[in-house]
């Protein structure tokens, strides 16, 4: 086979001849346009409405109380600041996530010293077009903020390993504080980073600490005691220079700095033999105070927090006091600033240091969503198949080319996936955190293989334009074509889920979604209120059954005469109450199961009820009923291919919950 190949060795492959800023500026511009395009067209999701409404309340001077169910205070404070300068709207409520999602795409530029020019560029491109990153960069949830903080910390970790300059430690402290103030899965990220650093130190640990100890000849208690003493001296004594200094410093700093944040982890022992005999509750199991200690448990919780703070400070002093006090001042300065609303409300300190983790410790038993253990394998295979294949190839490719950095990327990916599988609450937005390390290692391996591509196919182009393709070159060409096809299809998947089916749960990334009917009705209500001549005082009633308060609380935030009532409690004993709340209401929105109750007591001054879809959700039976033997059946693969390529087969299975809108005859058409 003889093919004529154009001499491209002076083009893209010679990337040093081009201004890297041009490439990144172009990618970032594309990312920004993709994330901001038609941003307010999708109806506000239930969770989005919670985050946006309480941000708006804060901006209006109504205050804010930290609630770990809604995660950290930082996103509320940032959004409140935006709402102060701009009118609150669906667009503005999502803009901060667009900005952080766009900035995330540019971060690999600062990681070129490890990823390489090509690897960093590929990582940015994948971040730009990743279906998961794209969708949740347009979604008012804080996961994309966490991804930005996490990636920044990873870059700074490797900056410190390479240069050992203390200002990187201070920057890590700042980003850790911002992350803890954003969302509680920072705990998972901290475990991941500590785990990867620990695995990097294991070979040196075995060589310098365990050697010549004859642990097997000692009794277990004595062996543990001797090992603990030796580890102490290696960490804080004169022998610690035998271990890699940078990795060790990072391990100590991150562990000690965040140690008090783990205080509520003791709640896992609440019902064990260790604490059960005390009858103390250090984390309530349910209710609005879930995760909070009560009674004598408050004393125990305070002692635990104080003990961990003292331990943190003591060992920080032994390690490197000059660095430690600056790092802790930065960390807790930012943390306190966020949790006290700029030192105006100190009630957030207790909930921040204890309930942030305590709430999610008790929620582990609740397992909201009740997803199977393989949930992320299902969702990631639909949306992030490109980076999954990239990760598998990376493990094979680096099997004989191991380095601290490749081991770090692989461990980061594995530990993150394992942690989110173990966590009982599994949701599609958490794919952001699983996808991030997979994107990094995929970009890195593509960068490495691009150089191989160049050496295999283009070396001869420098002297002549004709050559015979050998077997190795055919393999490289085939692999390249497959990579391009898969990436293009990945882009298509992202575009469909983000722009075409954004209001329709045709895929699991949507999970459950507010119907476009709600947004349209909200626009109609605004129009009716304007025509009525009294914009803020249009009398409206919302049935709060099944959480229908949201997203109406957000959409009707400017209306002053909105009454909220749960009609699921309607019975003959309280009929007079419900008649009174219905009187003089111009617009009534009722859950479908309560329509007959309302019609039985409603007067004749209303038009016929109009059915609207409130929310819909992805049909989970699709994967919950999965059996391993299904993969051997033709029918299974026929359905899979039709769904993946054409999104066929699920329309009729999509679940929904509806409401009825009842409009007064007094309102104009």
pLDDT at 4 over 60: no
**Overall average pLDDT of the 254-277 stretch:** 87
> What is the residue whose two structure tokens read 């594309």?
30
Q: Kindly report the number of other CB atoms within 10 A of residue 523's CB atom.
A: 11
Reported as a single tens digit per residue, the pLDDT across 282-338 is 888 877 788 888 888 899 999 999 999 999 999 999 889 999 999 999 999 999 999
Note the pLDDT of residue 531: 81
Tokens linked to 189: 């990220």
CB-count burial class (<10 Å; 0-12, 13-18, 19+) for 477: middle
Stretch among 22-36, 177-191, 235-249, 383-397 having the lowest mean pLDDT: 235-249
Residue-wise burial string across 213-248, b where 16 or more C-beta atoms lie within 10 A, e elsewhere: eeeeeeeeeeeeeeeeebeeebbeeeebeebbebbb
The rounded distance, in Å, linking the Cα atoms of 506 and 647 is 7
Closest of 298, 235, 236 to residue 264, by C-alpha: 298
pLDDT at 358 over 50: yes
Note the pLDDT of residue 369: 77
Q: Kindly report the number of other CB atoms within 10 A of residue 3's CB atom.
A: 11
3-state helix, strand, coil in the chain (%, to 5): 70, 5, 25
**Overall average pLDDT of the 420-444 stretch:** 95
% of the chain residues with pLDDT over 70: 90
Domain boundaries, the chain: 164-366, 515-618+654-664
The rounded distance, in Å, linking the Cα atoms of 136 and 145 is 10
**Overall average pLDDT of the 348-361 stretch:** 91
Dihedrals phi, psi of 660, to nearest 5 degrees? -120, 135
Instruction: Quickly list H helices, 107-211.
Output: 112-129, 131-136, 143-163, 166-180, 186-205
Q: In terms of residues, how long is the chain?
A: 669
Determine the 3-state secondary structure of 162 from DSSP: helix
Its pTM stands at 0.91
Cβ(419)–Cβ(184) under 8 Å?
Answer: no
Q: Kindly report the number of other CB atoms within 10 A of residue 10's CB atom.
A: 11
Closest of 198, 177, 180 to residue 188, by C-alpha: 180
The rounded distance, in Å, linking the Cα atoms of 515 and 438 is 32
Closest of 145, 144, 108 to residue 126, by C-alpha: 108
Q: Could you tell me the pLDDT band of residue 7, with boundaries at 50, 70 and 90? A: very low
User: 31-45, 189-203, 579-593, 626-640 — which one is most confidently predicted on average?
Assistant: 31-45
**Overall average pLDDT of the 148-174 stretch:** 97
Cβ(621)–Cβ(477) under 8 Å?
Answer: no
Average pLDDT, the chain: 87
Helix (H) / strand (E) element for 4: namely strand 2-4
The rounded distance, in Å, linking the Cα atoms of 156 and 106 is 15
Q: Could you tell me the pLDDT band of residue 241, with boundaries at 50, 70 and 90? A: very low
Long-range contacts of 10-17 (CB under 8 A, 24+ apart): 13/450, 13/454, 13/458, 15/117, 15/118, 15/121, 16/117
The rounded distance, in Å, linking the Cα atoms of 79 and 56 is 8
How is the beta sheet containing 610-617 ordered, strand by strand?
A: 512-514, 610-617, 655-663, 587-591, 540-543, 562-565
Reported as a single tens digit per residue, the pLDDT across 277-296 is 777 888 888 777 888 888 88
Stretch among 43-47, 99-103, 293-297, 638-642 having the lowest mean pLDDT: 638-642
**Overall average pLDDT of the 364-386 stretch:** 88
Tokens linked to 525: 């209500």
Cβ(525)–Cβ(610) under 8 Å?
Answer: no
Note the pLDDT of residue 146: 98
The DSSP 8-state label assigned to residue 43 in this structure reads: P
- Which positions ≥6 away from 630 have C-beta within 8 Å? 636
């Amino acid at each position: 086979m003889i093919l004529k190949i154009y001499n491209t060795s002076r083009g893209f492959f010679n990337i040093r001849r081009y201004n890297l800023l041009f490439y990144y500026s172009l990618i970032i511009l594309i990312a920004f346009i993709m994330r901001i395009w038609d941003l307010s067209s999708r109806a506000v999701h239930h969770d989005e409405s919670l985050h946006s409404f309480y941000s708006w309340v804060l901006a209006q001077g109504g205050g804010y109380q930290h609630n770990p169910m809604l995660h950290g205070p930082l996103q509320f404070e940032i959004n409140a600041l935006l709402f102060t300068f701009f009118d609150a709207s669906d667009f503005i409520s999502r803009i901060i996530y667009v900005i952080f999602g766009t900035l995330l795409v540019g971060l690999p530029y600062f990681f070129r010293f490890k990823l390489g020019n090509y690897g960093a560029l590929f990582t940015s491109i994948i971040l730009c077009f990743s279906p998961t990153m794209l969708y949740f960069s347009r979604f008012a949830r804080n996961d994309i903020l966490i991804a930005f903080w996490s990636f920044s910390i990873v870059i700074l970790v490797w900056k410190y390993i390479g240069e050992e300059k203390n200002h990187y430690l201070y920057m890590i402290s700042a980003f850790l504080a911002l992350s803890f103030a954003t969302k509680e899965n920072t705990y998972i990220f901290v475990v991941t980073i500590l785990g990867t650093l620990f695995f990097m130190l294991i070979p040196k640990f075995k060589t310098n600490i365990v050697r010549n100890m004859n642990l097997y000849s000692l009794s277990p208690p004595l062996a543990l005691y001797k090992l603990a003493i030796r580890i102490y001296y290696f960490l804080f004594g004169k022998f610690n220079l035998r271990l890699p200094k940078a990795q060790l410093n990072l391990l100590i700093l991150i562990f000690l700095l965040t140690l008090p944040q783990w205080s509520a982890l003791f709640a896992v022992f609440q019902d064990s033999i260790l604490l059960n005999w005390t009858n103390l509750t250090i984390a309530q199991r349910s209710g609005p105070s879930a995760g909070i200690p009560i009674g004598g448990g408050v004393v125990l919780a305070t002692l635990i927090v104080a003990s961990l703070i003292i331990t943190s400070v003591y060992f920080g002093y032994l390690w490197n006091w000059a660095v430690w006090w600056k790092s802790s001042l930065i960390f807790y300065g930012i943390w306190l600033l966020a949790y006290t609303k700029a030192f105006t409300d100190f009630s957030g300190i207790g909930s921040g240091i204890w309930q942030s983790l305590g709430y999610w410790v008790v929620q582990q038993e609740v397992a909201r969503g009740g997803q199977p253990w393989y949930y992320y394998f299902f969702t990631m295979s639909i949306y992030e198949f490109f980076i999954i294949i990239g990760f598998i190839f990376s493990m094979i490719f680096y099997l004989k080319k191991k380095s601290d950095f490749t081991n770090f990327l692989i461990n980061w990916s594995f530990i993150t996936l394992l942690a989110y599988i173990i966590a009982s609450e599994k949701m599609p937005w958490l794919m952001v955190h699983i996808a991030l390390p997979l994107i990094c290692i995929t970009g890195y391996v593509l960068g490495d293989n691009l150089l191989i591509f160049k050496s295999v196919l283009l070396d001869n182009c420098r002297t002549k334009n004709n050559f015979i393709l050998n077997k190795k070159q055919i393999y490289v060409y085939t692999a390249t074509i497959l990579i391009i096809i898969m990436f293009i299809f990945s882009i298509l998947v992202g575009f469909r889920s983000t722009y075409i089916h954004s209001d329709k749960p045709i895929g699991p990334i949507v999970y459950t979604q507010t119907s476009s009917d709600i947004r349209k009705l909200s626009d109609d209500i605004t129009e009716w209120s304007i025509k009525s001549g009294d914009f803020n005082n249009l009398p409206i009633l919302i049935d709060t059954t099944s959480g229908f308060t949201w997203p109406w609380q957000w959409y009707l935030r400017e209306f002053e005469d909105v009454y909220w009532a749960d009609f699921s409690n309607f019975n003959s004993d309280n009929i007079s109450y419900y008649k009174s709340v219905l009187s003089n209401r111009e617009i009534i929105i009722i859950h479908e199961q309560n329509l007959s109750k309302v019609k039985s007591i409603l007067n004749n001054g209303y038009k016929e009820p109009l059915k609207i879809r409130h929310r819909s959700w992805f049909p989970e039976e699709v994967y919950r009923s999965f059996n391993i033997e299904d993969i051997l059946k033709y029918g299974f693969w026929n359905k899979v291919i039709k769904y993946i390529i054409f999104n066929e087969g699920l329309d009729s299975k999509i679940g929904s919950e509806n409401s009825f809108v009842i409009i007064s005859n007094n309102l104009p058409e």
